[in-house]
Chains A and B, each alone.
Chain A
Amino acid sequence: MNATNTPMDYLPIVMMFLVAFGFVATTMFLTHKLGPKRKTKIKLESFECGIHSEGNARLPFSVKYFLVAILFVLFDVEVIFMYPWAVNFKDLGLPGIIEVFSFIILLLVGFYYLLAKKALRWED
């Protein structure tokens, strides 16, 4: 194992953090100062293909997007659980494989339930 994990290894990330932050902050500020400012009432309205915008844009939208977000959390956590196994693949050996695959089969049962419930149907 060459890769170490000392706080020093994270220092260059902090450096890039500062450089990128500085760049973004400066350019955002500069372009705010540089550009012309001729504001009119119509220009500041939100765009709606040339007609006057109607009401607030924060309307309710399809519940399926929320479902996808919730399912993502479930599945992504399950994927994260597999990473320690992948790293220790050799050490855990056959018992590790059996355990992880029984875990994946449980995951697939849940996945089949989703499909059967039509939670992921976008056609209608």
Chain B
Amino acid sequence: MTVFLIYKAILCVLIFAVSLGVAAYATWWERKFAALLQDRKGPNRAGPLGLFQPLADGGKMFMKEEIIPNVSNKFLFILGPSLFLFLSFLTGVLIPWGKDFTYDGHALALQLTDINVGLLYILGVTSIAVYGIIIGGWASNNKYSLLGAVRASSQMISYEIAMGISIIALVITAGGTLSFREILDTQDAGLANICYQPLGFLIFFICALAETNRAPFDLAECETELVGGYHTEYSAFKLGAFMFGEYINMFVSSAIMAGLYFGGYNFPFAKEFYHMIGLEDGSAWISLIGAGVYLIKTFIFISVFMWIRWTLPRFRYDQLMNLGWRVLIPLSLLNLAITVLVEIFIRGTIQL
């Protein structure tokens, strides 16, 4: 029991620190990757390859003057970004980073916790994140902020429906479980879920872009129309909280996609590979290699997010809403129907 508690506490702080670190270095990678795509150098002054740039940026955000407009609602103005950052940490708790390992006779999981309503928990927490944005935007009492917040929230809720339906199809494919770990384990022996759910993955990916307010769905903060969108009035660490929250959300949703559709810590011929280098089941190295593979997959997804940002132009608002309501919702229902047919006639889950 004590071992369990201490281990969970260490893991909790570790996952927290990794999320923060990845979010910080995602800003560096975003700038470096943009520079690569646009044939320039990107940050290269602070340290080798500009690697200390995120630290400098973080320090700057701490030391800047914070401005709270005198027309704003002060309590809500502070609550908005705090809630947004806080909730972005809470979405990441369910991700299983690697297989179980045994240490000193105790079986330990490289996952903070595995609850049987896992996917519902993730959907729930991500939908509360809308409040952070709308509270922050409304409390600023600035026209741009209000418009940005209203846009962001209606966009996020619109895409949540299609996301929910595509997850239902995934749950059916995975054999009726909402637990994150069990969905990963079904992909251990068989194929990754992307093979069964290509359309579902596409819908989930588009919805994840819209949920994290990334380009081409970044209408909530499009600088050509709304200055800065919902965080126009924010400065110092409150602006930083919005930015950090956004990058952590990106990290977590990339990890969720890599896990649900691409097998997470599993990779082809994993068992043979572990056997070849002479690792036994339950070795901590297997968990670590799995976590490394999972992080690489997540990193690829983060890079794809950034690649899309520098490739596609921003949507117009009516196009965005049309895509969400008229295209993605019918398409996700179609995907659900196809999934059911495949389950009956090809995989034979149900006997007629």
A36 CA to B65 CA, complexed, in Å? 5
Residue in A90, A111, A123 whose CB lies within 8 Å of B350: A90
B232 contacts partner chain A, Cβ-Cβ < 8 Å: yes
Classify the secondary structure of B's interface with A.
helix
A109 contacts partner chain B, Cβ-Cβ < 8 Å: no
B150 near A76 with CB under 8 A, answer no
B34 contacts partner chain A, Cβ-Cβ < 8 Å: no
Classify the secondary structure of A's interface with B.
helix
A89 CA to B178 CA, complexed, in Å? 12
Check A122/B317 contact, CB under 8 A, given A2-B181, A24-B82: yes
Residue in B72, B236, B325, B349 whose CB lies within 8 Å of A46: B72
Residues of A within 8 A of B296 (CB): none
B72 near A11 with CB under 8 A, answer no
A101 CA to B90 CA, complexed, in Å? 34
Q: What 10 A-B pairs come out closest when comparing CB atoms? A: A122-B318, A3-B179, A20-B89, A31-B237, A3-B116, A12-B113, A79-B164, A86-B171, A72-B157, A46-B142
- A10-B115, A17-B90 known; 20 new pairs, CB 8 Å cut-off, are A1-B177, A2-B114, A5-B117, A20-B16, A28-B78, A28-B237, A31-B64, A34-B62, A34-B63, A35-B236, A43-B67, A45-B70, A47-B142, A57-B143, A58-B138, A68-B321, A83-B178, A87-B176, A87-B177, A120-B322
Interface residues of chain B, those whose CB is within 8 Å of chain A, are 5, 8-9, 11-13, 15-16, 61-72, 78, 82, 85-86, 89-90, 92-93, 112-118, 120, 138, 140-147, 150, 153-154, 157-158, 160-161, 164-165, 168-169, 171-172, 175-179, 181-182, 185, 227, 232-233, 236-238, 241, 317-318, 321-322, 325-326, 329-330, 333, 336-337, 340, 343-344, 349-352
